[in-house]
Amino acid sequence: MLDFARGSAQKQSLVNSFANSLYAVWRTRHGRVAEFRDAAAPPPERLLQVIWQHQRLCRDRLCTLDGQSVRVLHPGFVSVEGGPDFRGAVLQIGDAAPVSGDVEVDLRTSGWRAHGHDRNPAFRNVVLHVVWETDHSVSRVATLPLCAALDSPIVELSSQLGRVSLRTLPENLRGQCAAPLRELPAPALTELLCSAAYVRLQNKAAALRVRAQQVGWEQSLWEGLFRALGYKHNGWPMQCLAEQRARWAAGADSPFHLQARLFGLSGLLPVELSQRSARADDYLRRVWDCWWREREGFAEGVLPRNLWRFHGLRPANHPLRRLALLAHWVHAGELTIRIECWSGAVIPDRQLRDSLTNILQVADDDYWSWHWTFRSARLKQPQPLLGAPRVTDLAVNVILPWLWTRAVAGQNEKLRSEIERRYAAWPAAEDNAVLRLARQRLLGRSTLRGGIGRTAVEQQGWLQIGRDFCDQADVTCAGCSFPELVRGMQRPPPASGGR
């Protein structure tokens, strides 16, 4: 047996040899260790976010600037749509009852005002401002400084966590259904996702059918397309524009004419030239010349600019570009008929998306194929007004549900089953942060496995389960019945009692 002194020396030499091991050297040389080494400098904000997510804190002595204890019952989920860094945290501050709210992480207390959080409604539900250190500024939100609350020196935490993705949920933040779902055989999981997606198809179809009863089938399709092209945040102003379609579509003699009307009605027409791009300014002048003559007649329908949201939007998805595309569709006419013909054509699975793209894609637009907005410089290469991922979104969220509910209403069994076949076979949409978070929370990993997640219908399944169960439970999954339902799928059916 080693005596204490000899044991310590051996342990130390073991630690040194681990620190200099081949793997440790590889890790450092090949950028697997974050660069932050200066304990005297403030750490990168992203590192603070990972530390918060993994709760690498002395959790029993967290204290706000005004001396209240902080108990973190759940750190929340990293935000995938901008706004505060973490959503839905559960915290107990001082003697108050636990509250659920958002957490914002900044380097310093002054970040609250400097980044405009105090004026941004998206930050209304922030219950804790986590900072590295304090400076002259204080905010109305409870503030927790981290610099003296870490469970290890910051340089060590940087080495351990600096390259950890915020998108990878720590094991203890995964949903209670993750374990039973992981045990489910792949075919059973696929079947579960497909049946959840089928509910989603029916729900979307029902909304389109109800609207069609009020405004007709064609208008309900147009409204669905406008809403889908508004994405999550601009669906409502797009719906308002679609509802006025009969007025603004009448008598327009070109896609440009329709664009001028839609831009004017949207309230998004800039009133000043950019002075940066002669081409962009020339186009804006022409739009104004056109809109100027007509705007009085449309004045009642002009939307306030503040109805639109731009935070986190990709340039290609800017509402102006989407309206430019819609103007082409409306001007070309017969979109409904072309979609109906497409539904009746024989199309192999592998050509489904391309065949619909052929119907929806438009020829180059002189301006919008080359610009993201009224103020952006001309692009080096023309960009399509509609990409393949958006075609998939339109297919699974609007076009297939619309065709399906029409087939059901018309008792056309053949068409209904053909639409269901297309829905099941549609290739997956672009993976995104919402889907990755859903998979991580529900399945315990963000990556795809064994063919799971290769179709749009499986993605729709994840989203539906998230809506039906995760959205109804808190972040700790309290009271969620989904894990039990999944476990029930693994049990053998009860033996029949009869002889």
CB atoms near residue 130 (< 10 Å): 26
477 binds ligand SF4 (CB under 6 A): yes
177 binds ligand SF4 (CB under 6 A): yes
- How many helices (H) and strands (E) the chain has is answered by 21, 6
435 touches 393 (CB < 8 A): no
**Distance from chain centroid for Cα 338:** 31
Rounded CA gap, 472 and 99, in Å?
Answer: 16
* Complex with ligand SF4: residue 17 or 195, whichever CB lies closer: 195
482 binds ligand SF4 (CB under 6 A): yes
457 binds ligand SF4 (CB under 6 A): no
- 386-425: which residues touch ligand SF4 (CB under 6 A)? none
CB atoms near residue 76 (< 10 Å): 24
- Three-state DSSP state, 131: strand
Q: How many CA atoms lie within 13 A of 232 on its CB side?
A: 8
**Distance from chain centroid for Cα 429:** 13
169 binds ligand SF4 (CB under 6 A): no
Rounded to the nearest whole angstrom, what is the least distance from the CB of residue 262 to ligand SF4 in the complex? 40
385 binds ligand SF4 (CB under 6 A): no
323 phi/psi in degrees, rounded to 5:
-65, -35
176 binds ligand SF4 (CB under 6 A): yes
469 binds ligand SF4 (CB under 6 A): yes
248 binds ligand SF4 (CB under 6 A): no
- 184-223: which residues touch ligand SF4 (CB under 6 A)? none
Among 441, 443, 456, 460, binds ligand SF4 (CB under 6 A): 441
Count of residues engaged in binding ligand SF4, rule: CB under 6 A: 13
Dihedral, CA atoms, 467, 470, 475, 479, nearest 10 degrees?
Answer: 140
State which H helix or E strand residue 107 sits in: strand 99-108
By CB under 6 A, which span of 196-204, 354-362, 403-411, 465-473 interacts with ligand SF4? 465-473
By CB under 6 A, which span of 88-96, 155-163, 243-251, 479-487 interacts with ligand SF4? 479-487
Rounded to the nearest whole angstrom, what is the least distance from the CB of residue 477 to ligand SF4 in the complex? 3
* Complex with ligand SF4: residue 107 or 473, whichever CB lies closer: 473
Rounded to the nearest whole angstrom, what is the least distance from the CB of residue 200 to ligand SF4 in the complex? 15
- The residue type of 278 is A
Nearest to 385 by CA among 324, 455, 428, 308: 324
> Please, is 148 exposed, middle or buried when counting C-beta atoms within 10 Å of its C-beta (0-12, 13-18, 19+)?
exposed
Nearest to 178 by CA among 462, 472, 492, 493: 462
Per-residue tokens: 296: 């009085």
Handedness of CA 323, 324, 325, 327 (dihedral sign): positive
By CB under 6 A, which span of 9-17, 172-180, 281-289, 299-307 interacts with ligand SF4? 172-180
442 binds ligand SF4 (CB under 6 A): yes
With helix as H, strand as E and coil as C, how does 49-80 read?
Answer: HHHHHHCCECHHHCECCCCCEEEEEECCEECC
Among 24, 122, 448, 473, binds ligand SF4 (CB under 6 A): 473
470 binds ligand SF4 (CB under 6 A): yes
480 binds ligand SF4 (CB under 6 A): yes
Among 75, 162, 175, 401, binds ligand SF4 (CB under 6 A): 175
Rounded CA gap, 357 and 352, in Å?
Answer: 9
Query: Which residue minimizes CB distance to ligand SF4?
Result: 175
89 phi/psi in degrees, rounded to 5:
-70, 155
Rounded to the nearest whole angstrom, what is the least distance from the CB of residue 484 to ligand SF4 in the complex? 9
224 binds ligand SF4 (CB under 6 A): no
* Complex with ligand SF4: residue 177 or 208, whichever CB lies closer: 177
* Complex with ligand SF4: residue 287 or 435, whichever CB lies closer: 435
By CB under 6 A, which span of 341-349, 368-376, 384-392, 478-486 interacts with ligand SF4? 478-486
- Three-state DSSP state, 427: strand
Rounded to the nearest whole angstrom, what is the least distance from the CB of residue 489 to ligand SF4 in the complex? 14
Report the interface residues with ligand SF4, using CB under 6 A: 175-177, 441-442, 465, 469-470, 473, 477, 480, 482-483
